[in-house]
Amino acid sequence: MDTETSTHEPADHAAIRAEAAAWLAQHWNPALDSRTWLATVVDAGWSAPSWPVEWFGKGITPDAARAVDDEFKKVGAGGYGQDVTNLWANTVLAFGQDELKREVMRPLLLGELDMCLLYSEPGAGSDLASVQTRAERDGDEWIVNGQKVWTSGGRQAAYALLIARTDLDQPKHRGITFFFFPMKQAGVEVRPIRQATGDSRFNEVFITDARVPDANRLGELNAGWWVLQTALMYERAVMGVTQRRDRDKEKAKINRDPTSEWSAPVPDLELVEFARARGRTGDPIVRQDLARLHCMRMVNEWNGRRAKALMEQGSSTPLASLGKLAMSGILHFAGRLQVNLLGPEGALWGPDWPDSADASYALHNAFFTSIGGGTDQIQRNIIGERILGLPKEPEVDKHVPFREVKKSPGRTLTR
Ligand SMILES: Cc1cc2nc3c(=O)[nH]c(=O)nc-3n(C[C@H](O)[C@H](O)[C@H](O)COP(=O)(O)OP(=O)(O)OC[C@H]3O[C@@H](n4cnc5c(N)ncnc54)[C@H](O)[C@@H]3O)c2cc1C
């Protein structure tokens, strides 16, 4: 039985499902290039159907929007679901001023604007409320000074989501403001960092007297901490169901949105085939590990659906942390298994050993998900406090004006 089109479906879902199916029957053409198709989907309002009509949506409920996604999946068409998966566009929709939305919303949905996250600093990673980058008002603009680090995609980015301190006399969570920050300007210097995988995907960013218009402020002055919570929730939800696309991208079978840097993890079946090709499927330990990996993925997928359903109802859900933590465990487990399947050959690296290089890459790249977007330990803290109801960690500096808080070494605040 096709559970997606159950006869118990509410009437409004069935109606929008039929409308989407009819639209797809008329417009979907697998031969279209992906960008043309995406533009068609965005302009027709199917890419983010739960959004307001004036912002590329259809004004339907989030639940009904998932019926639309089902219809797209059925025919294999991409470009749907951005009302859940596009962290940049969702953050701008929720907190941006209309002027900014008019300028960037469509390019964001079309994946035409390269973006990055200017959150972490040398003295503020897990504890992001300790950011020291300053933004000071100058007429209709803000002048920004500071240093960010681990900025993925910083070199290509046209804009960043930036958190900066705007009031030193407020306690640390309260004096932060969130900006949609233009990267391509004098005063923004991006320096690549070399990673364990050999890539240089992330960077240090030095910001000196750079400018951002007040029209690009997301949310209220000094309320950036709460904007950040929403943006992090979208990021963690995406990381809970996907992995950063890596050097295997040409091989990845599931890759429905060519404009996204994220793709679904390599399916378990590929690992089964890999084990079979190497004569390892008779090994009981290998069989057990393959089955375990499959079960972990299934459970995480169901958890992801729960998180998605809650997010669609507008709640900032700690379940996204559970999904991200689980995905981190899955990617580490899968990477280890892939290396183990190769035996001693798994230790090799380089173009002559493509299978070993792939496996090593998978092993190392798993750390992306266990550190980026908030470490595994931080996700455990969130789960402990917000799902299990355990006592909060003590925070001695929570109510102290940030000016008086002891800062990490090497950082100086001049004003
Ligand atoms: C691949 C990658 C990409 C990234 N991309 C970006 C990006 O684009 N933009 C951006 O802003 N940042 C990015 N980051 C930074 C990332 O968000 C931080 O590295 C992360 O939040 C941890 O901060 P930190 O490195 O300062 O470590 P710290 O916060 O110093 O943590 C060090 C260790 O202490 C543990 N720890 C810290 N506090 C606690 C606590 N309260 N309870 C228990 N354990 C704790 C941590 O889990 C960790 O193991 C990226 C990181 C990686 C690895």
Mean pLDDT of 9-32: 91
Same domain, 31 and 153: no
The pLDDT confidence band at residue 289, using thresholds 50, 70 and 90, is very high
Q: What pLDDT, on the 0 to 100 scale, is given for residue 13?
A: 83
Q: Specify if 388 maps to a domain.
A: no
Same domain, 40 and 151: no
CA 89 to ligand 1 centroid distance, Å: 24
The pLDDT confidence band at residue 255, using thresholds 50, 70 and 90, is very low
Q: What pLDDT, on the 0 to 100 scale, is given for residue 236?
A: 82
Domain boundary among 85, 100, 127: 85
Q: Specify if 236 maps to a domain.
A: no
Q: Specify if 409 maps to a domain.
A: no
Indicate which residue's Cα is closest to atom 52 of ligand 1. 372
Rounded to whole angstroms, how far apart are CA atoms 12 and 17?
A: 8
Going by C-beta distance under 8 Å and a sequence separation of 6 or more, which residues neighbour residue 209? 143, 144, 145, 187
CATH code: domain of residue 206: 2.40.110.10
Q: Specify if 387 maps to a domain.
A: no
CA 118 to ligand 1 centroid distance, Å: 13
Indicate which residue's Cα is closest to atom 25 of ligand 1. 125
CATH code: domain of residue 328: 1.20.140
Q: Give the nearest ligand 1 atom to 376 CA.
A: 47
Same domain, 258 and 364: yes
Same domain, 282 and 361: yes
Domain boundary among 341, 356, 374: 374
Q: Specify if 283 maps to a domain.
A: yes
Q: Specify if 4 maps to a domain.
A: no
Q: Is the pLDDT of residue 287 over 80?
A: yes
The phi, psi pair for 53, rounded to 5°, reads -60, -40
CA 371 to ligand 1 centroid distance, Å: 5
Q: What pLDDT, on the 0 to 100 scale, is given for residue 4?
A: 43
Most confident listed range (79-83, 157-161, 275-279): 157-161
CA 15 to ligand 1 centroid distance, Å: 45
Q: Specify if 370 maps to a domain.
A: yes
| Token couple for 25 | 């029957």
The fraction of the chain above a pLDDT of 90, given in percent, is 62
Q: Is the pLDDT of residue 286 over 90?
A: yes
* Number of domains into which the chain is organized: 3
3-state secondary structure of 210: strand
Neighbours of 310 (CB within 10 A): 17
Pocket of ligand 1 (CB under 6 A): 116-117, 119-120, 125-126, 150-152, 202, 368, 371-375, 377-378, 381, 393
Q: Is the pLDDT of residue 384 over 50?
A: yes
Residue 197 C-alpha from the chain's centroid: 20
336 close to 323: Cβ distance less than 8 angstroms = no
Q: What pLDDT, on the 0 to 100 scale, is given for residue 365?
A: 85
Mean pLDDT of 78-88: 90
Q: Is the pLDDT of residue 205 over 80?
A: yes
Q: Is the pLDDT of residue 38 over 80?
A: yes
Q: What pLDDT, on the 0 to 100 scale, is given for residue 241?
A: 64
Same domain, 266 and 190: no
Same domain, 358 and 252: yes
Give 355: exposed, middle or buried? Use CB within 10 Å, 0-12, 13-18, 19+. Answer: middle
Same domain, 252 and 199: no
Indicate which residue's Cα is closest to atom 23 of ligand 1. 125
Neighbours of 288 (CB within 10 A): 10
Q: Is the pLDDT of residue 196 over 60?
A: yes
Q: Specify if 106 maps to a domain.
A: no
The owner of tokens 């309320």 is: 223
Stretch among 93-97, 267-271, 368-372 having the lowest mean pLDDT: 267-271
Question: Which of 116, 243, 375, 396 most suits a substitution to test ligand 1, by most atoms within 8 Å of the C-beta?
Answer: 375
Give 199 or 41, the one with higher predicted confidence. 41
Same domain, 214 and 324: no
Q: What pLDDT, on the 0 to 100 scale, is given for residue 315?
A: 66
CA 367 to ligand 1 centroid distance, Å: 11
Same domain, 251 and 216: no
Q: Is the pLDDT of residue 117 over 90?
A: yes
Indicate which residue's Cα is closest to atom 44 of ligand 1. 377
Q: What pLDDT, on the 0 to 100 scale, is given for residue 244?
A: 52
Same domain, 285 and 314: yes
Rounded to whole angstroms, how far apart are CA atoms 236 and 246?
A: 18
Same domain, 184 and 289: no
3-state secondary structure of 118: strand
Rounded to whole angstroms, how far apart are CA atoms 152 and 134?
A: 21
Question: Which of 132, 148, 371, 385 most suits a substitution to test ligand 1, by most atoms within 8 Å of the C-beta?
Answer: 371
Mean per-residue pLDDT of the chain: 87
CA 373 to ligand 1 centroid distance, Å: 7
Q: What pLDDT, on the 0 to 100 scale, is given for residue 373?
A: 85
Domain extent, residue 278, equals 242-374
The fraction of the chain above a pLDDT of 70, given in percent, is 88
Mean pLDDT of 325-333: 93
Same domain, 285 and 210: no
